[in-house]
Amino acid sequence: NAGVMQNPRHLVRRRGQEARLRCSPMKGHSHVYWYRQLPEEGLKFMVYLQKENIIDESGMPKERFSAEFPKEGPSILRIQQVVRGDSAAYFCASSPSRVEQYFGPGTRLTVT
Amino acid sequence: GQQVMQIPQYQHVQEGEDFTTYCNSSTTLSNIQWYKQRPGGHPVFLIQLVKSGEVKKQKRLTFQFGEAKKNSSLHITATQTTDVGTYFCAGSDDGNKLVFGAGTILRVKS
């Protein structure tokens, strides 16, 4: 059973460009979470999704950020018009039951 | 909103010494989870505690959940170099989202 997959692993964007981060949950997991982590800091919750539904997006900035988890395909975290402050590691986690979360390897976003 | 504080921020120990990290929540939790993240890696689930006063053990690791379900601790007996990493607690008070502590970075000198 493959683990949670995220791609790309590293992403470099210039200020003003768009960043698209993909997450494929583990097979059979219908709960997906996105987190953001700055160096040597904890994980900040961004959004919790189930298939086709956003359950809780209280941690996601209201502007420029959006997330989806379509019926088919991976979950996408989209950041429009990136700024330097968006540089961070973005982790996706999936869960079968809202208990333990299985994290992907993360996408390291660098905005130049 | 819910806040989870974790101390200490850093801990350097000699191999063989014990290590403890503490976690406190501003609200009563429905459950608390612990994760370990190796340098450059991703968080890995260790355990979940649900019941008031619960104590669970995994080999040299002992996890406790406070009676009021607002605090927790992780204790490692006789640390080894493989224990190096950042240990995070994460609590949920609404069953939806986990709020993570800032983590305790453990370094072990051999």
**Alpha carbons A35 and B23: distance in angstroms, whole number:** 20
pLDDT band with cut points at 50, 70 and 90 for residue A1: low
B10-15 mean pLDDT: 97
Percent of chain B clearing pLDDT 70 (strictly above): 98
Contact: B99, A91; criterion CB under 8 Å: no
- Beta-bridged to residue A72, according to DSSP, are none
Query: Residue B100 and residue A45: Cβ atoms within 8 Å?
Result: yes
For A41, name the nearest residue in chain B, comparing CA atoms only. Answer: B102
- For residue A61, whether the previous peptide bond is cis, meaning omega lies within 30 degrees of 0, is no
Side-chain half-sphere CA neighbours of A14 within 13 A: 0
Minimal-distance CA residue of chain A relative to B86: A40
| CA A32 remoteness from chain centre | 9
Least Cα distance to A22 among A71, A88, A68 occurs for A68
Q: Write the residue in A55, A100, A102 that is nearest to B96 by C-beta.
A: A55
Q: Pick B96's closest partner by Cβ from A56, A91, A102.
A: A56
CB burial of A61-80 (b: ≥16 within 10 Å; e: otherwise) equals eeeebebbbeeeebbbbebe
Chain A residues whose CB is inside 8 A of the B35 CB are 103
The residue-averaged pLDDT of B59-80 equals 97
Lowest mean pLDDT among A67-71, B62-66, B75-79, B92-96: B92-96
Mean pLDDT on A40-46: 87
